[in-house]
């Protein structure tokens, strides 16, 4: 499975961006696709995830109410609509797919994901 993340860029605080994560290859058995981010000097952290079966979505508290994740099964693509962006949202955003079913408590864990995209940079200016 290959993941291609795109849509990053420079935006002013309060603005919006939409990230896309397109999957190719053997994508049939995917369980969940999520977004993570890594700011300079910080560890990679969970942002949001969608479970393909049932469409359940989960968010980090820091983005809840501002970001919306959605998946298009026909296109094998996951989107992250980001609104009301803040300077602290500045980071490289990575998408990742888990092919193995995982318990809900682990869905925010990096180790639950099998494939990672290359990342797309989001910069929010104040």
Interatomic CA distance for residues 54 and 38, integer angstroms: 28
Query: Which pLDDT band, with edges at 50, 70 and 90, does 8 fall under?
Result: very high
> How does pLDDT run across 31-84, given as a tens digit for each residue?
999 999 999 999 999 999 999 988 899 999 999 999 999 999 999 999 999 999
pLDDT digit string, tens, across residues 74-110: 999 999 999 999 999 999 999 999 998 888 889 999 9
Task: For residues 19-29, give the mean pLDDT.
Answer: 87
Alpha-carbon distances of 87 from 22, 84, 111, 124, 125, rounded to whole Å: 26, 10, 27, 5, 6
pLDDT at site 25 = 86
Q: Using an 8 Å Cβ cutoff, are 9 and 122 in contact?
A: yes
Q: Assign 3-class secondary structure to the chain.
A: CEEEEECCEEEECCCCEEEEEEEECCCCCCCEEEEEEECCCCCCEEEEEEECCCCCEEECCCCCCCEEEEEECCCCEEEEEECCCCHHHCEEEEEEEECCCCCHHHCCCHHHCCEECCCEEEEEEC
Please determine, for residue 1, whether its predicted confidence score (pLDDT) is greater than 80: yes
């Amino acid at each position: 499975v290959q993941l291609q993340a795109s849509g990053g860029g420079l935006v002013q605080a309060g603005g919006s961006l939409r990230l896309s994560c397109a999957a190719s290859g053997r994508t049939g058995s995917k369980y969940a696709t999520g977004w993570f981010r890594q700011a300079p000097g910080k560890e990679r952290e969970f942002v949001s995830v969608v479970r393909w079966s049932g469409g359940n979505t989960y968010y980090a508290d820091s983005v809840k109410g501002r970001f919306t994740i959605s998946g298009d099964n026909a296109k094998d693509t996951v989107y992250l609509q980001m609104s009301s962006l803040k300077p602290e949202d500045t980071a490289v955003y990575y998408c990742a797919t888990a092919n193995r079913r995982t318990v809900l408590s682990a869905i925010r864990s990096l180790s639950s994901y099998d494939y990672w995209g290359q990342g797309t940079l989001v910069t929010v200016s104040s």
